[in-house]
Amino acid sequence: MKPYQQIKIQECHEPLVPIPLEIFATESPHPYQKLGAPYHLSQAKSPYFLRQKVLDSLILAQTNLQQNYPGWHIQIFDAYRPIYVQQFMVDYTFAQAVKAEGLTLDSPSLTETKRQEILELVYQFWAAPSLDPATPPPHSTGAAVDITLVDASGKTVNMGSPIDELSPRSYPNYFSDRPDAEDQKYHQHRQLLAEVMLSVEFQQHPQEWWHFSLGDQMWAWLTSQTNEGGKVVARYGRFED
């Protein structure tokens, strides 16, 4: 169990609503759909959904961004993720990590010890596809969103590492102390993204520069650490699809 999963959930039953994609940047087809992720099993049929107030705040974040950076947009990589899509992506990521080790899933060299080592790496970045109502994956609540930025020319802003990379380069402040000018540019881009999102009360995943949430357990856990009033509870649990 991760620390944020100990946070109590008081579900508010706010609806899951479609993201108006015409006002944001997106990648089409969706990256996980290209891999075969089973969104067709979902009532939504799409990852581009969020809880209503989360969406409202995301729209406000983009408005704030454009005040200082006219023509820039938030690019939505991923949002709502049903449990079975979470399971698909964990399995896919595990298989890719095994392949990166020069192994196959049925290789005798993939010992139980090695399997556990790779699984631990995967679960550093991917939440377990839990069906327990007390420990939902963040994206399955409709309160988490993976994003980056697109500049006024329509070019995706370089953050120094791709979304979903299983490495320390994914940590938000990875480039902060690096003297290279290019690395500092990556850090500035990440800071801009975080500032825009935190300005409207999102919280950023400590290990993923792209992941932000508002109202779920991770958000409540991170908010509680800086909240003088004490612990904050989550208002979004797993969306029953």
Q: Is the pLDDT of residue 167 over 70?
A: yes
Tell me whether residue 148 is in a domain. Answer: yes
Confidence (pLDDT) at 228: 64
pLDDT in tens, 48-63: 999 999 999 999 999 9
Domains in the chain, number = 1
Tell me whether residue 234 is in a domain. Answer: no
Provide the whole-model pTM.
0.95
Tell me whether residue 217 is in a domain. Answer: yes
Confidence (pLDDT) at 28: 87
Tell me whether residue 236 is in a domain. Answer: no
Confidence of residue 203 (pLDDT cuts 50, 70, 90): very high
- Mark whether 228 is an active-site residue: no
Tell me whether residue 238 is in a domain. Answer: no
CATH number for the domain spanning 7: value is: 3.30.1380.10
Tell me whether residue 239 is in a domain. Answer: no
Using the CB atoms, write b or e for 57-92: b if 16+ within 10 Å: bbbebbeebeeeeeebbbbbbbbbbbbbbbbbbbeb
CA dist., res. 215 & res. 237, Å (int): 9
Is 181 or 42 the better-scoring residue by pLDDT? 181
Token duo for residue 144: 């988490």
The residue annotated as part of the active site, out of 11, 112, 208, 240, is 208
Q: Is the pLDDT of residue 45 over 90?
A: no
Token duo for residue 36: 């075969």
Q: Is the pLDDT of residue 86 over 70?
A: yes
Domain that holds residue 16: 3-226
Mean pLDDT, rounded, for 105-131: 94
Tell me whether residue 231 is in a domain. Answer: no
Q: Is the pLDDT of residue 209 over 90?
A: yes
Tell me whether residue 111 is in a domain. Answer: yes
